[in-house]
Structure 1
Amino acid sequence: MPIYSLNGVMPQLHPSVWIAPNATVIGDVVIGEGSSVWFGAVLRGDVFPIRIGARTNVQDNAVVHVTNGRAATTIGDDVTIGHSAIIHGCTVGNRCLVGMGSTVLDNAVIEEDVFVAAGSLVPPGARIESGGMAIGRPAKRVRPLNDMDRMEVAGAAALYVQYAQDHRLGLCDVTEQLKQKK
């Protein structure tokens, strides 16, 4: 797993964090307890800080970045950042799910308990209020979260904590073994 310091600033990872072998974490990045960074994801805290809370998962091929001197990225606790999402210089509150392929841009704020549907675009400076479902390009709050939505968000975060534990214990590179069988 490529983890790099940049200009003397080293990522700070809680000992329980799991990072996939081909994920990349660079510079001023802090990741909290029980969180995970999945295959192909990039967290690049090169020109401003990235802060990620506890039990948060950044899924495969997601990109988390910042804007030089203007927009840090803060992601709260119990958050799911879906596959191939782009999180750029923004704030994502606790207990949120940002769906696959969604983009959240500079200085946008997603408050707590928000579900951003797959493929949505949260434009620069937008605010998605707490407790809602947001959909579209640009994303708009379309309704309050119901109990099923809240269970899905909580369940995704909890599931990825378990997946990370499973991968920590069971992931094994078998490339050389497969080459020898040829």
Structure 2
Amino acid sequence: MALIKSVRGFTPKIGNDTFLADNATIIGDVEIGDGCSIWFGTVLRGDVNSIRIGNGVNIQDGSVLHTLYQKSIIEIGNNVSVGHNVVIHGAKVCDGALLGMGSIILDHAVIGEGAIIAAGAVVLSNTQVEPGSIYAGAPAKFIKKVDPEQAKEMNQKIANNYHMYASWYKEESE
């Protein structure tokens, strides 16, 4: 069973039909929407500030979400895919974005709607990633614009797959 821990008077709120892996850790001021999946080894640390996650979001294995005390929060929109071992620290990720495996998103960065952050990219503090664009590298730089429909289709496929994967675990526990 996932570790869900209250701290500083905040208790995590978990939406309906949301899968929490057995060793996921959700602490403090965290709100997770409906139809999400929080995978193995993931840590959502809302101990020093808030983490807000929309609907249909998948946060894959080994990812860590944290903030700066009194200075930054995390906001994740709907239908966002967060790849394996991603670090999000006090940033905003808009609807339909995809964060590639091992990427790092730092404080006050904004990842625009439908944007794609390449695997291993480092998005520096205060970076504004344009909607529908691909960023890659360390530090992450603009690579090109993406076809909005193609990006949406790809990300929706990933989100749907993760919703299906989560259902396998639900079936096993029944």
Question: How high is the TM-score relative to the length of structure 1?
Answer: 0.91
How far residue 15 of structure 1 moved from its aligned partner, in angstroms, is: 2.5
C-alpha separation in 2, matches of 1:142 and 1:98: 15
Post-superposition offset of 1:42? 0.2
Cα distance in 1 for residues equivalent to 2:77 and 2:38: 14
- The CA deviation at 1:171 is 5.6
User: What does residue range 1-182 of structure 1 map to in structure 2 within 5 Å?
Assistant: 1-146=2-147, 147-170=149-172
> Over aligned residue pairs, what C-alpha RMSD do you find?
1.2
Residues 114 and 151 in structure 2, CA contact (< 8 A), matched pair in contact too: no
CA shift in 2, pair 1:9/1:135, >3 Å: same
Using the size of structure 2 for normalisation, the TM-score is 0.95
The answer to whether the 8 A contact 2:50-2:67 is kept is yes
Deviation at 1:165, TM superposition (A): 1.5
Amino acid aligned to 1:141: F
Deviation at 1:150, TM superposition (A): 3.2
5+ residue gaps, structure 1, are 173-182
Q: Is the 8 A contact 1:115 1:153 kept in 2?
A: no
1:148 CA displacement: 3.8
1:81-116 superposed Cα distances (whole Å, 9 cap, x missing partner):
100000000000000110000000000000111011
Larger radius of gyration: 1
* Secondary structure of 1:155 counterpart: helix
Contact 2:132 2:151 in 1 (8 A): no
Distance 1:37 1:97 in 2: 15
Aligned residues between the structures: 172
SS at match of 1:7: coil
Instruction: Supply the distance in 2 between the matched residues of 1:85 and 1:150 (Cα, whole angstroms).
Output: 20
**Separation in 1 of the partners of 2:69 and 2:136?**
28
Give the CA deviation at 1:37. Answer: 0.4
Following superposition, which runs of at least 4 residues in structure 1 exceed 3 angstroms of deviation?
Answer: 147-150
